[in-house]
Amino acid sequence: MLLYNIGTQFYFFFIRIASFFNQKARFWVNGRKNLLNNIEAILPENERRIWIHCASLGEFEQGRPVIERLKSLNQGIKIVLTFFSPSGFEVRKNFKGADYIFYLPQDTKTNAKKFISLINPKYVIFVKYEFWVHYINELKSREIPLYLISANFRKGQLFFRWYGGFYRSILHKITHLFVQNENSLELLIEIGITNVTISGDTRFDRVVDIAAQTKDIPLVSLFKQNKKILIGGSTWNKDNELIVDLINSESLKDTKFIIAPHEIHEKDIEELINSIKIKSIRYSEANENNIIEAMVLIIDNIGLLSSLYRYADIAYIGGGFGKGIHNTLEAATFGMPVLFGPNYKKFREAIDLVKLGAAFPVNSSKELTDIVNDLFIDQNKLNHLSEIAKNYVNNNKGATDIIIDKINHLQTSFNN
């Protein structure tokens, strides 16, 4: 515990130092100023609450189907949603599915005691990877149930190493763990944890919901004009290089392209446009007249990507030449093969889709060009792989139902 406290204090200290020159760190620090006093002023007494914590935006998307289901089933319950990272809080601080949205106060014994006293939750849900020791200890001491959902454990994690006893003890304090797969269950059983349910990944439920709720984007419909479309989603510079090489090869003269960069800095957008030899247009400058003739549409705003996939026939998902690929399921749920860079092996859905033949890792422009040309030339193959991708998503949905049903059952047992 001493080492943990020293380590976390150093971590928080370096974030404060970084805040002088890094905007994300500055959000992290400023968002926690007078936080507990502000929470105390905001929260009324005598409310029944459920606390749900997400590290960042990705975990929020995993937790969102559960949050929305809990809200619809428990009309008298208030949802308290917390984030550790500004990447989640700043984007979702106005999310209508939660009643209160806060940063999580630093993990200290004092903060944990006061925060939990203030919100006084009926029970708590942590999403995927959050293991803040003082909060978990305080919940355990107060006998407040804590559930971990959409968890995915790997052999190399501290919990399963010979020196990981401290972290194993934390897992033993969680009321029930909902894991994504059989491998996670087996690893937990090996260290004596049996209060586990294989629920699958709630992201499948989320992308199915997104697909059902997408609306037509008239300008993009005009752009498509019944042409084949390859979309690049959440792409980085290296991803864009491969896609631009494919575009400039002119091997697909009748195909249109949509590129939605992960970051939309003006300099990068300008460089991207200048590198493309055929007619391209920014979404922000498009209108009913000029978008029809364009062959490449550059998305220079945030928030459209999940709705854009419905117009595509093949998707290239960015991030595979960096830390890891972005969300492949958002594309697959619309029924299309997906491609990405080589760094995908930490993502179960990408591995599964590769095994099924509906996803293709690529290392070079040539590989991307060859695969895309083959798919667009062979319409039967494209249709078959699109069906495989869509079925994969549909066959794996349902995690939210499993989690909600089990929590309700456990809560009933506690109440009795």
Report the pLDDT value the prediction gives residue 129, as an integer from 0 to 100: 82
Distance (Å, whole) CA 271 – CA 78: 47
**Mean pLDDT within 403-413:** 89
Cβ atoms within 10 Å of 33's Cβ, excluding its own: 9
Task: Count the helices and strands in the chain (H runs, E runs).
Answer: 19, 14
Please report which helix (H) or strand (E) contains residue 24, including its range.
helix 23-30
Give 100-137 pLDDT, tens digit per residue: 999 999 999 999 999 999 999 999 999 988 899 999 99
Q: Is 205 helix (H, G, I), strand (E, B) or coil?
A: helix
Instruction: Round to the nearest angstrom and report the end-to-end CA distance of the chain.
Output: 35
Task: Please tell me the least confidently modeled range out of 92-96, 281-285, 302-306, 321-325.
Answer: 302-306
Report the pLDDT value the prediction gives residue 178, as an integer from 0 to 100: 97
Q: Phi then psi for 196, rounded to 5 degrees?
A: -135, 140
Q: How confident is the model at residue 67 (pLDDT cuts 50, 70, 90)?
A: very high
Buried b or exposed e, range 346-370, using 16+ CB within 10 angstroms: ebebbeebbeeebbbbbeebeebbe
Cβ atoms within 10 Å of 71's Cβ, excluding its own: 17
String of DSSP letters for 344-363: -TT-HHHHHHHHHTSEEE-S
- pLDDT value at 99 more than 70: yes
- pLDDT value at 416 more than 70: no
**Mean pLDDT within 47-73:** 93
Buried b or exposed e, range 227-266, using 16+ CB within 10 angstroms: ebbbbbbbbbeebbebbbebbeeeebeebbbbbbbbebee
Q: Where are the alpha helices (DSSP H) in 286-356?
A: 305-308, 329-332, 348-356
Q: How confident is the model at residue 330 (pLDDT cuts 50, 70, 90)?
A: very high
- pLDDT value at 370 more than 90: yes
In what side-by-side order are the strands of the sheet with 255-261?
A: 280-282, 296-298, 255-261, 228-235, 314-317, 338-340, 359-361
- pLDDT value at 291 more than 90: yes
**Mean pLDDT within 241-245:** 96
Give 213-224 pLDDT, tens digit per residue: 888 899 999 999
| CB-based contacts of 15, cutoff 8 Å, min separation 6 | 25, 28, 29
**Mean pLDDT within 57-70:** 92
Q: Is 237 helix (H, G, I), strand (E, B) or coil?
A: helix
Report the pLDDT value the prediction gives residue 45, as an integer from 0 to 100: 87
Please report which helix (H) or strand (E) contains residue 87, including its range.
helix 86-92
Residue pair 176/195 in contact by the 8 Å Cβ criterion: yes
Domains and CATH numbers, the chain: 41-200+398-415 (3.40.50.11720), 216-395 (3.40.50.2000)
Report the pLDDT value the prediction gives residue 334, as an integer from 0 to 100: 96
- pLDDT value at 414 more than 80: no
Distance (Å, whole) CA 188 – CA 374: 43
228-235/100-103 β-pairing: unpaired
**Mean pLDDT within 174-197:** 95
Q: Is 156 helix (H, G, I), strand (E, B) or coil?
A: coil
Of all residues in the chain, what percent carry a pLDDT higher than 70?
A: 100
Give 258-288 pLDDT, tens digit per residue: 999 998 889 999 999 999 999 999 999 999 9
338-340/48-54 β-pairing: unpaired
Q: Tokens 């909600």 — which residue?
A: 404
Cβ atoms within 10 Å of 338's Cβ, excluding its own: 29
The letter for the amino acid at 38 is N
Average pLDDT value over all residues in the chain: 93
